[in-house]
Amino acid sequence: MKTVEVLGTPLRVTTYDALSDFCHEEVRKASVFAVDFTNSHIVTMRRMSVEFRSMMSCFDHFIPDGMPLIWCMNRGRAQLSDQVYGPTFMRKCLERTQPDYRHFFLGGSKECLAKLEMRLRKVHPGLSVVGMRDGYFSAEEEEGIVSAINEISPDFVWVGLGTPKQQRWISRWKSKIQRGALLAVGYAFDVNAGTKPDPPLWMQRRGLGWAFRLASEPKRLAGRYLRYNSLFLFYLLWDGLRGQAIRRTVAAGVASWFGLSFLVPMPLDSDFRWESVIKSTFYMSEENTAEAPTNPRTNLAAEFREFWDFLPRKHVFAVLAISWLLLFQFLGNSTFGYIDTPSLFTWMFAAYNAQMSEDSHGNLIPFVVLGLIWWKRRELMSLRLEPWHWALPMFVVAVVLHSVGFVAQQPRISILALFFGFYAIMGLCWGRSWLKHTFFPYFLVIFCVPIGSLAQGITFPLRMLVTQLSVGFASIVLGLEIVREGTLIFDADKSFQYDVAPACSGIRSLITLFALTTIYGFITYQTMWRRLVMMAVSVPLAVLGNVLRVITVIVVGDVYGMKAGLNIEQKLGLVTFLVAIVGVMVLGYFLDEKRSGMEKQNESWGMENSGDRPVSDVVGGAVFVLLEDESAARWTWDQSCSRGWEWWTGYRVSGVSFGLWRESSSCQWGSDQHLAGRYHHRYSSV
């Protein structure tokens, strides 16, 4: 079986049926092998703990038991559509087994095993269950259990002791067991016995199984998920910075932590220009093959040098950019009566970090923009960068804009001029195509403009709206005797009083949510209307979150008194974001579902319905080109200039890559224009 390595764990590219057939064949041999159903928790533990990784070296096969891992593997061309979930595999394997295969179950409680045996006897009357032993045994009893297993000689030993106990037991006793398959299936016993609930199928496919289990067992699992999901995300981001993880793989890690898998539809190699990066990121290996690249991991410094060397006219850009920044350092701020400094950057820092400021996010936005530009570096390196002289009028506009802001003592206008001028300088040096491809994320710098006192015109209407909605719901729906005077809320006896203060208006959560939904919208979706919908949803979500927060305070205050209400209010800061997460999940679900019509269009072209990016975004004439041979050989389509076609985008479906080219009146092809693959003679107009 092939493998794709994710954070150092070689995960098998397999399915339920393929793994079941493999196990049934292997157990006929006079040997023992161990199979672990690996989720992101186990992958993270293997990455962070040398001891745990060494202990698991005895396992022969790591099976991807979790959709976040599947998404990562698909970045390495695994082309998997579903996880191999331990409890489901156990059911499917037992369905396919013949009466002459013998099964032993180790783990769970006595009650769980009794219910499991009863269900198995009912569903599979001919199943040969040769032994069962609960998981509550001492270290002194383990050797006796192993002796009993060897005496019975089962084909399948199902181990459901939980992580890491089951891995430790298999590591300790595998060498003593004579034959058979040792399958670490986690809590599959409880699920199939009916003692614990199983996540719905739609939650499993969306990578939300962990959220269901957390809701079922919050005390036991909250600490584990908080720690290991966060570390899983951290390692993905860290490897991404080092060039070992790419684009939607990192987005998938972020989404899986928050449960936002609806935001990250995971097409297979949807952008063909990332092929070389994919090969150097999650590389596929197979026994007796040399498919893996010779140097799969690149150094961050080397990648930066590669990107820096690619940029033309660097010295011109550096001179213009430094001069532009110096202008705003020494002649950027004229409001000396408020902040005594000529530097616009000092004024911005003071505005971001003032007491009770709603603009502290401005400190992070430049780093977010730079990080996203670095994230798009491979896309940018595929561009033909030439000077664009029409950027000069843009620069003049920026100079005039700053002059107006300086004379009128309006630093916010100067901030807009600062970033617009910097954008124009990039256009002067690197051209229109650079500006087009960096518009996102560069436009996020708008969040660097501090709102300050201007927020008062927004916060008061928000306060009134939140107050009215909260009181209306409490009075009409909950039947509470609540009175409102402006933004003051109190009961009929006035024993409880609460003021929806400016800090409770939701302006900070609104700005933060708008920034987050904007980033997610542009990263996840290709069509503009989906991006706009994702951006617009931040307003109702921010209001809804604050309404729920105020309603909770009202209810608690009415029942337990004003002091309890004020105490609970201080602990509900994250409610807004929890509501936003749920809202974005629901919205992402519907936005994703509406792609079904586009998938039908893909099928009409002979493309499998594998979730690839729809091609309906292409406007105008296009050519549909079939590309074969995923080698890194460079080639030039010598017919391209005669017709004038330029590369548009690419797709990968079931091992075959598809390219889209669009007609262009100014296509200049030369030796630098190349893609990985060979041109195939069969193409047709779309």
Residue linked to tokens 């002979």:
606
Instruction: Please tell me the distance from the alpha carbon of residue 544 to that of residue 535, in angstroms, as a whole number.
Output: 15
* DSSP count for the chain of H helices, then E strands: 30, 16
pLDDT < 50: residue spans in the chain: 241-298, 593-686
Question: Residue 504: what pLDDT?
Answer: 60
Query: What CA dihedral angle connects 233, 237, 239 and 241, to 10 degrees?
Result: -170
Angle, in degrees to the nearest 10, between helices 411-430 and 432-442:
140
Q: How far apart are CA 244 and CA 685, in angstroms?
A: 37
For 120, residues 6+ apart whose C-beta sits below 8 A from its C-beta are 94, 127, 129
Please name the residues in contact with 85: beta carbons below 8 A apart, sequence gap of 6 or more. Answer: 37, 65, 204, 209
Residues β-bridged to residue 285: 3
Measured over the CA atoms of residue 410, residue 413, residue 415 and residue 418, the dihedral's sign is negative
H or E segment to which residue 570 belongs: none
Helix (H, G, I), strand (E, B) or coil at 142: helix
Contact 203, 211 (CB under 8 A): yes
What token pair was written down for 421?
């001028």
CA distance 306 to 299: 11
Three-state SS string across 153-173, please?
Answer: CCCEEEEECCCCHHHHHHHHH
Alpha-carbon distances, residue 620 vs 432, 623, 648, 660, 662 (angstroms): 21, 10, 12, 12, 7
Distance of alpha carbon 608 from alpha carbon 602, whole angstroms: 7
Give residue 456's pLDDT. 66
d(CA 583, CA 465): 19
Q: Where are the alpha helices (DSSP H) in 431-537?
A: 432-442, 456-472, 507-524, 528-536
Task: Using the structure block, give the residue that is written with the tokens 């992402």.
Answer: 588
Angstrom distance (rounded) from CA 197 to CA 187 = 10
679: exposed, middle or buried (C-beta count within 10 Å: 0-12, 13-18, 19+)? middle
What is the Cα–Cα distance from 492 to 456, expressed in whole angstroms?
A: 30
Identify residue 455 by its one-letter amino acid code: A
Q: What is the CA radius of gyration of the chain?
A: 30
User: What confidence score (pLDDT) does residue 45 get?
Assistant: 92
pLDDT at 578: 74
Phi, psi for 563 (deg, rounded to 5): -60, -45
Nearest Cα to 654, choosing from 82, 15, 77? 77
How confident is the model at residue 640, as a pLDDT? 33
Taking the CA atoms of residue 302, residue 304, residue 306 and residue 311 in that order, the dihedral angle to the nearest 10 degrees is -160
The count of other CB atoms within 10 Å of the CB of residue 375 is: 17
Q: What angle, 0 to 180 degrees and rounded to 10, lies between the N-to-C axes of helices 40-48 and 67-74?
A: 70
Torsion over CA: 418, 421, 427, 430 (sign): negative
My answer on whether omega of the bond before 164 falls inside 30° of 0, hence cis, is yes
* Nearest CA among 654, 659, 665 for reference residue 637: 659
Residue 69 CA to residue 268 CA, distance in Å, equals 14
Which strand (E) or helix (H) includes residue 327? helix 314-330
Identify whether the C-beta of residue 157 lies closer than 8 Å to the C-beta of residue 11: no
Q: What contacts 24+ positions apart, CB below 8 Å, involve 406-410?
A: 406/331, 406/332, 406/334, 407/334, 409/334, 409/335
- How many Cα atoms within 13 Å fall on the side-chain side of residue 426? 17
Residue 298, class by beta-carbon neighbours within 10 Å (0-12 exposed, 13-18 middle, 19+ buried)? middle
3-state secondary structure 54-100: HHHHHCCEEEECCHHHHHHHHCCCCCCCCCCCHHHHHHHHHHHCCCC
CB atoms within 10 A of CB 104: 22
Going by their DSSP bridges, the two strands 180-184 and 656-663 should be labelled as: unpaired
Do 105 and 131 touch, CB atoms closer than 8 A?
yes
Other beta carbons within 10 Å of 188: 28
333 close to 347: Cβ distance less than 8 angstroms: yes
Q: Which amino acid is at 188?
A: A
Q: How many residues does the chain have?
A: 686
Separation of alpha carbons 213 and 216, rounded Å: 5
Q: Can you tell me whether residue 540 is helix, strand or coil?
A: helix
Q: Are strands 656-663 and 622-628 parallel, antiparallel or unpaired?
A: antiparallel
In whole angstroms, what separates CA 528 from the centre of its chain? Answer: 20
3-state secondary structure of 14: coil
| Rounded-to-10 torsion of CA 72, 75, 78, 80 | 60
Q: Are 538 and 510 in contact (CB under 8 A)?
A: yes
Q: Which residue's entry shows tokens 């383990």?
A: 142
What DSSP designation does 217 have?
S
Judged by DSSP in three states, 578 sits in: helix
**Whole-prediction pTM:** 0.47
CB 383 within 8 A of CB 310: no
Q: Which helix (H) or strand (E) holds 672?
A: none
Structure confidence at residue 240 (pLDDT): 61
